[in-house]
Chains A and B, each alone.
Chain A
Amino acid sequence: MIAEIGQLLLSLAFAASLVIGLQHLWGLRRVAAPGVDLAAANRILGTTAFLTFVLVAASFGLLATLFMGSDFSVLNVAENSNTLLPLQYKFAATWGSHEGSFLLWNLMLCGWTAAVALASNALAAGYRARVLTLLLVLQAFFLLFLLSSSNPFERLLPAVAEGRDLNPLLQDPFMVIHPPMLYMGYVGFAVAFAFAVAALMEGRLDPTWARWSRPWANAAWSFLTIGILLGSWWAYRELGWGGWWFWDPVENASLMPWLAGTALIHSLAVTDKRDALKSWTILLSLVAFALSLLGTFLVRSGVLTSVHAFATDPKRGIFILSMLMLIVGASLVLYALRTRDIGLGGRFGKVSRESFLLANNVLMSAALGAVMLGTLYPLFAEVLSGRKMSVGPPYFEAVFVPLLLPAAYLMAVAPNLRWKESTLPAVLRPMLLPTLAALLLATAAVLWLGPFKWLTVLGLTGALILAWGTADHARRQLAKLSTNGDSGSLGARAGKLGASYWGMVIAHLGVAAFVAGVSMVKSYEFERDLVMKPAETVQVGSNRITFIGVDQGSGPNYVTQHGVFELTEGEGKVIYLMEPQKRMYQAGRQVMTEAAIDYGMFRDVYVSLGEPVEPKPGEAASDQGWSVRIYVKPFMAWVWIACLMMAIGGGTTLFDRRYRLRRAAAPAADAASASSPAQA
């Protein structure tokens, strides 16, 4: 009964989105939209947005109830859950499958639509109506796909007594929040998409379009950053061999919209401030969402092999592809037709903040192109010539680093450039000494740690100069405010600079930390593959690791070989008890390695338990050796902290006062225009 109600709710949401969406799409197709009562339309659209959100949320809640109650008469529950599964994972199993996670996707879309409906009352009426209409039409599309080919409420009759189990890889707290964050990001770009398409529909782009889009794009980008961070951190903890990024097609599928999103948020800044790069920003808004859809397609269609891919079904793939073609194709056609009307926008010189932000666009786009090329090349090769080839980490690392490392250097300089026109020598001269200092510092550090590695030096120099440039710029901005007679407290002056500015500072410092972290980890990580017997100890870096032993244990739905190691630093001070495990999950009889990690600011020590070695004749089983992998990863924590900083930076910009001035500005503007009619 619950399942049927869940399905009914989805159908109702679909019907509402479809009818209201198409009706208004038709009604608002002309720019002037004569005869349309915009106020009424907005009320209906807003109500529909809230209604569909409630319906889909309720449906999601019902599915979760089925999982938590272990109702195995529902196919999805039977395939992805188990009575022994701990309750929190039964809840997470709701989105552990293609069907369930796609329902989550739909829920996010309805959520963002409702949020837009809630927050955009101050938007111009016609524009708001178009944005909401487009979002409802998108909802209809995705709900149609969900209901027709991926119904999470499909029955399994006769019901089975016990379910298959949630994939043990997913039974981890990080896996629980990673998909919701990731989808918030992917789906969030739909809002920027809708804003852009609505603008194209109107055939004109007012200067405030960018300012409206910015908070939504920034929010989506921040969520996507967190989603990717969590996925990466989960891989690091769960997969047992210390890796955290594999350039796997599904990982690349999330990186591509992130790169487009990064270009987008910077391009929006230019359009917002200087009314320039309008056409580019619109295109990026379309491309970011298109890449989210492409990612969905790659993961769920089975066209590429990946550790991550959901159970594949080519029929589903064709459906998603058709949706992708329709949505993206229609928007690109509209772009082709209407982009001329948008106009060229402000002029800027070869050296200016605009041109540097444009350079950022170019580098992000090239990096995006490289990732796409590498991910899709095997498919192209196979389709065009029948040969099977692989593109893996060696390619991506060789190509990605030269493209993005220069961006770090450009970012250091960019805030110092004035809008419109700036001169390079004036900006570079103050950077000369610090750059030299950074280079020397980096070289000294590298030489102290081992043989000279020029790439590491370049990376560390870039990180240092970016951090210094960003911090120094902030210092000078604050100082400028006090010399201008604005001698308020530090807090007041900081407030004057705006949340948008501080968001940029935090995010850019995050990038510096990321570059430093990656440079250090990649250059200086090392591993030891050994066999250890109980009581044996090994010196790893400045730590000693003593193997205590392995005992058997059990958890709610698994049995485990529970290893115990002592980690000591210096002379005998035990700093950490490391307990890696090898778990066998009973339901599917899958073996999972849980690594033990001692996190540190400057290094992670990572211990992974392998296989026991056959005891030699005469040796007691309790004395048998175990193969153990120990990694030391310097500065690994910096990578996670850096991504968090980037996301926090993005989130901080949402608090900027400028985004909330809309309501106040409107009546003031009426007064202004009334008193100066000559300005028209």
Chain B
Amino acid sequence: MATDVTSSDTAAAANGLPPGTDLVRLKDIASDLRCLVCQNQTIADSNAGLAVDLRNQVAKLMSQGKTDTEIKQYMVDRYGEFVLYDPPFSVSNALLWVGPFILVVAGVWITRRMIAARAQVPDVPELSEAQRAAVEARYRQGQ
């Protein structure tokens, strides 16, 4: 007789988490935290001992009613900002967050200058295939 398994409590228990843990929120928070012993994984994905411990700690803090920010701060207090995969928007990280958009603005500015510069230049007619061939022939003769 097939039984329907829908209880996330069972899963929580299986993972050693307190029953009633909001697994979705846990995954969200854990996906923003870096596993310190692995080579570049989140603590949500990693199965290293420390990752499991930290996930449990996040679950415990969640059950104590801490907010996402408080939980992340808890981790940063102990492990430094290295543990955050989402770099906070601070003065030292300003270039990181603003940089790409500066690049777009710079690109647009350069583009406009290029188009304006070309307005001064006599126009180059589009070459037909025969004309192209002729140009290339002259180019070869210059070799």
Tell me which of B5, B45, B82 contacts A243 (CB under 8 A). B45
Q: Is the CB of B39 within 8 A of A305?
A: yes
Interface string of A395-420 (1 = CB under 8 A from B): 10001000100000000000000011
Provided the pairs A390-B85, A530-B10, A672-B130 are in contact, do residues A38 and B143 lie with their beta carbons within 8 angstroms? yes
Q: Is the CB of A669 within 8 A of B133?
A: yes
What are 24 A-B pairs at a CB distance below 8 A?
Answer: A126-B143, A206-B136, A208-B136, A243-B45, A309-B39, A346-B126, A347-B122, A358-B114, A359-B111, A369-B100, A373-B100, A391-B85, A392-B42, A393-B85, A394-B85, A395-B87, A530-B11, A538-B4, A625-B10, A665-B133, A668-B130, A668-B133, A670-B137, A672-B130
Which residues on B sit within 8 Å (CB–CB) of A546? 2
Q: A535 at the A/B interface (Cβ < 8 Å)?
A: yes
Chain B residues within CB distance 8 Å of chain A = 1-6, 8, 10-11, 13-15, 23, 27, 31-32, 34, 38-42, 45, 80-87, 92-93, 95-97, 99-101, 103-104, 107-108, 110-112, 114-115, 117-119, 121-124, 126-127, 129-130, 132-141, 143
Q: In whole angstroms, what is the CA distance A366 to B119 when docked?
A: 26
Chain A residues within CB distance 8 Å of chain B = 38, 124-127, 204, 206-208, 241, 243, 246, 248-249, 273-276, 305-307, 309, 344-350, 355, 358-359, 361-363, 365-367, 369-370, 373-374, 377, 381, 385, 387-395, 399, 403, 419-420, 527-532, 535-539, 546, 613, 625, 627, 661, 665-666, 668-670, 672-673, 676, 679-680
Which residues on A sit within 8 Å (CB–CB) of B96? 373-374, 377, 391, 395
Tell me which of A305, A348, A420, A613 contacts B40 (CB under 8 A). A305
Chain B residue nearest in CB terms to A272: B132
List 16 additional contacts besides A206-B139, A393-B42, A673-B138; criterion CB under 8 Å.
Answer: A38-B143, A124-B140, A344-B118, A346-B123, A363-B104, A366-B101, A369-B103, A389-B93, A392-B85, A395-B85, A399-B100, A420-B126, A532-B5, A536-B4, A537-B2, A668-B133
Q: Is the CB of B111 within 8 A of A355?
A: yes
Q: Is the CB of B34 within 8 A of A362?
A: no
Q: How many A-B residue pairs have CB under 8 A?
A: 212
Which residues on B sit within 8 Å (CB–CB) of A348? 115, 118
Q: In whole angstroms, what is the CA distance A127 to B143 when docked?
A: 9
Question: Whole-angstrom distance from the CB of A213 to the nearest CB of chain B?
Answer: 14
Which residues on A sit within 8 Å (CB–CB) of B110? 362
Provided the pairs A38-B143, A389-B87 are in contact, do residues A537 and B133 lie with their beta carbons within 8 angstroms? no
Question: Whole-angstrom distance from the CB of A584 to the nearest CB of chain B?
Answer: 14
Which residues on B sit within 8 Å (CB–CB) of A381? 92
Chain A residue nearest in CB terms to B41: A307
Q: In whole angstroms, what is the CA distance A391 to B42 when docked?
A: 12
Which of B5, B93, B101 counts the most A-chain CB atoms under 10 A from its CB?
Answer: B5
Provided the pairs A347-B118, A392-B42, A394-B86 are in contact, do residues A366 and B137 lie with their beta carbons within 8 angstroms? no
Which residues on A sit within 8 Å (CB–CB) of B111? 355, 358-359, 362
Q: Is the CB of B104 within 8 A of A529?
A: no
Q: Is the CB of A390 within 8 A of B84?
A: yes
Chain A residue nearest in CB terms to B110: A362
Q: Is the CB of B108 within 8 A of A362?
A: yes
7 tightest A-B contacts by CB?
A392-B85, A362-B107, A669-B137, A394-B86, A370-B100, A669-B133, A346-B124
Q: Is the CB of A275 within 8 A of B99?
A: no
Q: Is the CB of B143 within 8 A of A530?
A: no
Q: In whole angstroms, what is the CA distance A60 to B92 when docked?
A: 48
Provided the pairs A249-B40, A348-B115, A390-B84 are in contact, do residues A535 and B100 lie with their beta carbons within 8 angstroms? no
Q: In whole angstroms, what is the CA distance A387 to B80 when docked?
A: 9
Q: Is the CB of B23 within 8 A of A536?
A: no
Which residues on A sit within 8 Å (CB–CB) of B130? 668, 672
Q: In whole angstroms, what is the CA distance A373 to B96 when docked?
A: 7
Provided the pairs A126-B143, A673-B134 are in contact, do residues A306 and B39 lie with their beta carbons within 8 angstroms? yes
Q: Is the CB of B104 within 8 A of A366?
A: yes
Question: Whole-angstrom distance from the CB of B137 to the nearest CB of chain A?
Answer: 3
Q: In whole angstroms, what is the CA distance A558 to B121 when docked?
A: 70
Chain A residue nearest in CB terms to B136: A208
Tell me which of B8, B81, B103, B107 contacts A388 (CB under 8 A). B81
Which residues on B sit within 8 Å (CB–CB) of A395? 85-87, 96-97
Q: Is the CB of A208 within 8 A of B82?
A: no
Which residues on A sit within 8 Å (CB–CB) of B84? 389-390
Q: In whole angstroms, what is the CA distance A347 to B38 when docked?
A: 54
Q: Is the CB of B104 within 8 A of A362?
A: yes
Chain A residue nearest in CB terms to B85: A392
Provided the pairs A246-B40, A344-B121, A537-B4 are in contact, do residues A390 and B99 lie with their beta carbons within 8 angstroms? no
Question: Whole-angstrom distance from the CB of A33 to the nearest CB of chain B?
Answer: 8
Q: Is the CB of A627 within 8 A of B15?
A: yes
Q: In whole angstroms, what is the CA distance A276 to B124 when docked?
A: 9
Chain B residue nearest in CB terms to A403: B100
Q: Is the CB of A539 within 8 A of B126?
A: no
Q: In whole angstroms, what is the CA distance A344 to B115 when docked?
A: 11
Chain B residue nearest in CB terms to A658: B129
Which residues on B sit within 8 Å (CB–CB) of A679? 134
Q: Is the CB of B126 within 8 A of A274?
A: yes
Chain B residue nearest in CB terms to A627: B14
Q: In whole angstroms, what is the CA distance A365 to B2 when docked?
A: 55
Provided the pairs A347-B121, A363-B104, A387-B81 are in contact, do residues A537 and B40 lie with their beta carbons within 8 angstroms? no
Which residues on A sit within 8 Å (CB–CB) of B117? 344
Q: In whole angstroms, what is the CA distance A388 to B87 when docked?
A: 11
Which residues on A sit within 8 Å (CB–CB) of B121? 344, 347
Which residues on B sit within 8 Å (CB–CB) of A377? 87, 93, 95-96
